[in-house]
Amino acid sequence: MRWQGRKGSTQVEDRRGFPGGGRGMAVGGCGTLILVLVISWLTGVDPLALLQNVEGGGGLGAPGAEVSVPSGVQTGTGAADDHLAEFASVVLADTEETWTGIFRAQGVEYRLPTLVLFRDAVGSACGFNAAAVGPFYCPADGKLYLDLSFFADLERRLGAPGDFAQAYVIAHEVGHHVQNLLGLADRVTEAQRRARSQEQVNELSVRMELQADCLAGVWGHSAAGRGILEAGDVEEGLRAAAAIGDDRMQHMAQGRISPESWTHGSSEMRVTWLRRGLESGDPDRCDTFAAGAGG
C-alpha cells in the first residue's frame, strides 16, 4: 500500500500507556473469535471455556460503564508500535474519506468513528475487553478498539501478512460503524433477542460479519481507485479473510468443524463477500440479509 506520507486521522485515541478498566465483555469485531481459538490451540484450554468469558455481552456487545482513562497520543511507545499506529491512523483517515463521500451522495452525514489503540486490555462502553478477543467495534460509544499486537498474530500465527491485510482488519471494524449508523446493528440485536435458538442468533451474527467484510471491500475499491493499493494488496486482503474463517479457526483449535456454532462465517464466505465489495465498490451489493450468506 502507498500509505506513507498521507494524512492521518484526528480521531485516534491512544491508550497504550494507560491500562483500561471496567466489567463485562464485548463481542462482535473481526477478531472476536480469532485469538480465543488460537490461544486454545496453543495452550490446550477448552475454547468453549474461553468463549464463555468473551460472550457474556451478546453477539454485538452489551452496554456497560465506560471507564474514564487519559486520551491523546503517547510518545515513547516503541518504533515498531508507533509505525503501526501511524499506519492505522492513515487507514482510518482514508476510510473517513470514502464513507463521507458515500454518505454525502445519499444526503446523509457520516459521523466519524474513533479508533482507540490499547495494550493488553481496555475499558469501553461495551465493558472490559482483553486483547485476546481481537479488534472490535463498540456500537454503544461508536469506537473501534485495536491492540496493535494483533497484526503480529495475523502474520505469524494465522499466516496472513501484509499491510493491506492489516488495513482490511481496520476497514472491517469501520464496516460495523457504518452498520451502526444505518441502524442495522440495533435491528439485528433486537432480532437476536427474539430468536428461538442459538443457531438463529449465530446466523444473524454471521450475516453482520460478512456484511462488514463486504463494506471493508467497498473501501478497498475506493482506495484502489485513488492509487493507494499496489500489486498483491488485494490478494493479501483475501488471504486474511480466509485465514479468519470460522471453519479454519475451529479446525485449528479443536480439529473439527461445527457450522451451527459459527459467528463470523467460513473462509469461503468471508472471501466471497470481501471480494464482492472490492469488485463492485457498491454498498448496495453488500446486503447479506437478502442474499444467501454464502454469497
Cβ atoms within 10 A of the Cβ of 53, count?
12
- Residue-wise pLDDT for 205-236, tens only, equals 999 999 999 999 999 999 999 999 999 999 99
Q: How high is the pLDDT of residue 236? A: 93
Contacts of 72-79 with CB under 8 Å at 24 or more apart are: 72/13, 72/14, 73/12, 73/14, 74/14, 74/16, 74/17, 74/18, 77/14, 77/16, 77/17
Is residue 69 classed exposed, middle or buried when 0-12, 13-18 and 19+ CB atoms within 10 A define those classes? middle
Name the grid cell of 23: 466489567
pLDDT value of position 71: 36
pLDDT tens per residue, range 131-177:
878 899 999 999 999 999 999 888 888 888 899 999 999 999 999 99
Residue 79 has pLDDT above 60, yes or no: no
pLDDT per position as a tens digit, 251-291: 878 888 888 888 899 999 999 999 999 999 999 999 999 86
d(CA 230, CA 118): 29
SS3 127: strand
pLDDT at 46 over 60: no
Structural domain boundaries of the chain?
12-286
